[in-house]
Structure 1
Amino acid sequence: MQELRSDGWDNFLQKVTSFCIKHGVEVPTMDGAYVPYGKLARYARARNQTNDDHFRRKVYIGVIDQISQELDNRFDEINMELLSCMAAFSPSNSFASFDAWKVRRLAEFYPKDFSNNDLLKLELQLDNYIDDMRQDASFQGLDNIVDLSVKLVETKRHKVYDMVYLLLKLILLLPVATTISERVFSALVIVKTKTRNMIGDTVLNDCLVTFVERDIFFQVDKDDIIETFMSLRKRRINK
């Protein structure tokens, strides 16, 4: 991102210019005065801003700075360490990225799943695990941890290296859990509006479930919902 910010403008401008010429879009001269859409030329002269200043500094560099800030917010030191430890599981190039210390460090991110005894058991399994993987021809040519997990089950190695396999499953579940959390937070903005700011946690949870999983709920028959609701307790029947 820093390289794009410092040295990427000329190449980017060339690509944009080629695109505009190809599709008949007028390309303003970069040394000319920048005139905002709907404004008069004297407005541009009063601001004394060139097209280069606007498009390069305000737009191009401005967007890169926003992306960089977003990346910094999402990938802090803890997240970067987590990703680095996850990469140690990669089976590419005969497990060239394997690092026993990083794998153990990864297990420490799941204290509810790995007790102190489990961590010791994991350390003992890792020494035999990596030697076994590199010597077994069936594990050669794997490119990702999904294929690795499948191959472990096929060869029954998931029972031999149960702690390693447990950690591998947690890694595979992490992107799914993160995606679901993002969906819920996005839905929260839509469901809990200003007119619903006093909604209770139970009702809010039910609304979020039905909103997030609406594709499933659309398949439910309305009569089944009514019958289930009526069977909860006796109700008066309208005549």
Structure 2
Amino acid sequence: MIATDTTSSGTRCDACILLELILKFEFVFNLHLMRKILEISNELSKALQRKDQDIVNAMRLVQLCKARLQTMRDDEWDSFFGMVCSFCEAHEINVLNMDDMFVTLGRSRRDTVTNLHYFRVKMFYAIIDMQLQELNDRFSEVNSELLLCVACLCPNNSFVAFDKNKVIRLCQYYLADFDATDILELDDQLDTYIFDMRTHEDFGELQDLNDLAQKLVAKNKHEVYPLVYKLVILALVLPVATTTVEKAFSAMSIVKNRLRNRIGDQWLNDSLIAYIEKDVFDNIENDVIMEHYQNMRTRREQL
């Protein structure tokens, strides 16, 4: 409608160009590839966004997502390509001859590859490999094992996920907090701890680690089982610390940009605090800040 009815020639021209691109084989191919990959990762994405995360099932979904992507890469090119061609034929979109040389609009033809090589290797394989690499980077074997060990502390369903060996394994990731003597003591403490938790009615309806930590303190169990309580606290800190570090690194590239590449460490640190905690600073009135700096200036002059 924009391409035919609008009165602005510039807008009409842009719409015609976009309409032409949308009706090309490459656009259809990319759209189907995007849809297929998002379909594979959909359950994992929803699981990771839930507040009441089931870490065991989330890690299982990570492995399933990796396996499905690998299967798609190894065995499903023919079926995927056939689906794209069927869509194009149904909507009267020209299907490229895969034996012809691929031509990129607006670029020189230095790389002479066939359409088949471009769509299969540089698009299909490359994008799936990118997704697999992202999952491997974020959920390596070490990270996955760490999260599964943390899940063993979860109290829901009467501590059904509890696994003594994995809890001991979790201590080995925190060598600065647990020495060899602590691990031996914890090994003896865990049997009494889990029996106590499963037979104590106040711990039967807990849902997550946060509830467990609060209940341990309320019932003074954090002094009875200090090593277990320390593990629970470390498990609670883990996602917060990881998120904070990632957020700080993302903010650093924004604060220390090309125009501020010589900014000092202290100035950078102060700027990052103000940027990351901007929700807190937004609630402080400008007059309060001005008064604070005025008082600091007065004290300096007095000194």
Relative to the length of structure 2, the TM-score reads 0.61
Letter of the aligned partner of 2:276 in structure 1? V
Structure 1, unaligned stretches of length 5 or more?
Answer: none
Q: Is 1:3 matched with 2:71?
A: yes
Shift of 1:73: 3.3
Shift of 1:78: 3.5
Q: Is 1:178 matched with 2:242?
A: yes
Whether contact under 8 Å (2:98, 2:114) holds in the other structure is no
Letter of the aligned partner of 1:28 in structure 2? V
- Match of 2:298, SS? coil
Q: 2:276 aligns with which of 208, 212, 218?
A: 212
| Alpha-carbon separation, structure 2, partners of 1:234 and 1:109 | 50
1:36-67 Cα distance to aligned partner (Å, 9 max, x none): 45369xx88x93512x4333321121012122
Cross-structure match for 2:114: 49
Q: Mean Cα displacement is larger for which, 197-206 or 89-98?
A: 89-98
| Alpha-carbon separation, structure 2, partners of 1:11 and 1:101 | 44
Whether contact under 8 Å (1:34, 1:54) holds in the other structure is no
| Alpha-carbon separation, structure 2, partners of 1:25 and 1:235 | 78
Alignment of 1:129-144 (within 5 A): 129-136=193-200, 144=208
Letter of the aligned partner of 2:93 in structure 1? E
Shift of 1:192: 1.1
Shift of 1:217: 1.6
Whether contact under 8 Å (2:89, 2:95) holds in the other structure is no
| Alpha-carbon separation, structure 1, partners of 2:278 and 2:127 | 35
Q: Is 1:102 matched with 2:166?
A: yes
Letter of the aligned partner of 2:284 in structure 1? V
Q: What is the RMSD of the two structures over their aligned residues, measured on CA atoms?
A: 3.7
Cross-structure match for 2:190: 126
- Match of 2:283, SS? coil
Shift of 1:27: 6.3
Shift of 1:86: 1.9
- Match of 1:171, SS? helix
1:175-230 Cα distance to aligned partner (Å, 9 max, x none): 11101100100111111123322221111100111111122222221111111001
Letter of the aligned partner of 1:81 in structure 2? E
Q: 2:95 aligns with which of 24, 28, 37?
A: 28
Q: Mean Cα displacement is larger for which, 154-163 or 102-111?
A: 154-163
| Alpha-carbon separation, structure 1, partners of 2:93 and 2:196 | 63
Shift of 1:21: 8.2
1:154-195 Cα distance to aligned partner (Å, 9 max, x none): 665444333212211211221111011001001111111233
Structure 2, unaligned stretches of length 5 or more?
Answer: 1-68
1:58-99 Cα distance to aligned partner (Å, 9 max, x none): 112101212222333344453343223223324466545432
Q: 1:196 aligns with which of 240, 245, 260?
A: 260
Cross-structure match for 1:79: 143
Whether contact under 8 Å (1:92, 1:141) holds in the other structure is yes
Distance verdict in 2 for CA 1:224–1:13, change over 3 Å? farther
Cross-structure match for 1:38: 105
Whether contact under 8 Å (2:88, 2:95) holds in the other structure is no
Distance verdict in 2 for CA 1:131–1:36, change over 3 Å? farther
- Match of 2:297, SS? coil
Cross-structure match for 2:32: none
More helix by share: 2
Cross-structure match for 1:160: 224
Distance verdict in 2 for CA 1:221–1:137, change over 3 Å? closer
Between the two proteins, the alignment pairs up a number of residues equal to: 231
Cross-structure match for 2:125: 61
| Alpha-carbon separation, structure 2, partners of 1:14 and 1:216 | 54
Cross-structure match for 2:296: 232
| Alpha-carbon separation, structure 2, partners of 1:34 and 1:142 | 63
